Amino acid sequence: MATTSTTPTTQESTASVPSQTRKAEHLTVDPPVVIKCNKSTFTQIWALASFVSPDDLIKERLIADVNRFLYHDVNQQLIDSTTHVIKEINTQFNNLMEKKINSYKTSKDATSQQIADILDSLRKEMPMNEDEQVSKVLRTYRISQEELTDRFDDYKNKNEKELESQFNQTHTNQTSVRGFKVRGVFEDYADAKAHAKKVRDEIEPYVHTFVFPAGYWVPWDPHADAVQDQEYMIPQLNDMMAQKKENERQKDEFFAKRKAMFKENADKENEERLKNNLKERIQARRNERAKK
């Protein structure tokens, strides 16, 4: 039976590994795994793999894009609609006032002439300002990124089943589940490339197969063209891993502070409870003495 060891080996491998001279201080490199086997051949059945995915950042990017879309597109619709409504109101108001003014002007009565002049003056002062009304509508619509994120999450939580059902109906023959397959482990880079070619030509020609060094974090993307040149993606992957570590550190620090706070509050409550119990006992004894 084959056994595995994580002890580094001094034996050199012919496989090509990426340089770590780029910004990659947060991307831990695993030590080589030495396989000790008492047979000349062995079947590869078990494999180990890890992956990281910036799902939270992707969601934030999506929400940010939606926020910008809503701000520009919907606000533009609000501007157009509000402007159209204000123009209609002003036009109808002017037409109505025009009829009233003309009816009073045709009268020979001096009072009617005065009313016509007053109405004409009001007509010039009353029209609604389009820019002011549009500004009022936009101010009530604009919301911050944080508020939109909270409202978006709240909406998804309240309508999760309905949203999932509608999405599945629209994308009947598609899946949003990620998957991966380990297609073999080789010591020589040439053997790995040869097997990758065999997989592409004979097994699954419609699925991309990538060759990568074991123990190294490497960028991945569902679009094959995006990972052809991985060197430029290393700093981005490193930054993501650094942020992941920082998030974990902040989460641990947050829970540690909350734990300490709860303990402190519990200690204070216990101390206060003991003081109250002691006061009640002292008061009870005084009451008993007073009765005697």
- pLDDT, tens digit (0-9, with 9 covering 90-100), for 31-68: 666 667 677 776 666 666 666 666 666 666 677 777 77
Q: Are 166 and 178 in contact (CB under 8 A)?
A: no
How much is the pLDDT for 264?
83
Answer with the one of 142, 172, 206 that is the final residue of a domain.
142
Could you tell me what percent of the chain has a pLDDT over 70?
65
Residue 73 CB neighbour total at 10 angstroms? 10
d(CA 215, CA 236): 18
Rounded Cα distance between 141 and 131, Å, is 15
Intervals of the chain under pLDDT 50: 1-18, 21, 227-232
Residue 39 sits in the same domain as residue 117: no
Reduce the DSSP state of residue 226 to 3 states and report it. helix
Is there a domain that residue 70 lies in?
A: yes
Distance CA 157, CA 261 (A): 30
Q: Give the number of domains in the chain.
A: 2
Considering 142, 159, 175, which residue would you say is the last residue of a domain? Answer: 142
Q: Please check whether residue 102 lies inside any domain of the structure.
A: yes
Residue 132 shares a structural domain with residue 73 = yes
Count Cα atoms within 13 angstroms, Cβ side, for 130: 14
Closest by Cα among 145, 140, 168 to 66: 145
Is 72 a domain residue? yes
Residue where a domain stops, chosen among 105, 122, 142: 142
Domain assignment present for 185: no
Handedness of CA 127, 131, 134, 138 (dihedral sign): negative
Distance CA 26, CA 216 (A): 11
CA-closest candidate to residue 208, choices 178, 183, 174: 183
Domain coverage including residue 31? 1-47+215-292
Q: What are phi and psi of 157, to 5 degrees?
A: -65, -40
Q: How many of the other CB atoms lie within 10 Å of CB of 58?
A: 10
Pairwise CA distance, residues 174 & 126, whole Å = 58
Q: Is 205 domain-assigned?
A: no
- Tokens in use for 115? 């009313």
Conformational region of residue 215, where left means phi above 0, alpha means psi within -120 to 50, and beta covers everything else: left
The answer to whether residues 83 and 104 belong to one domain is yes
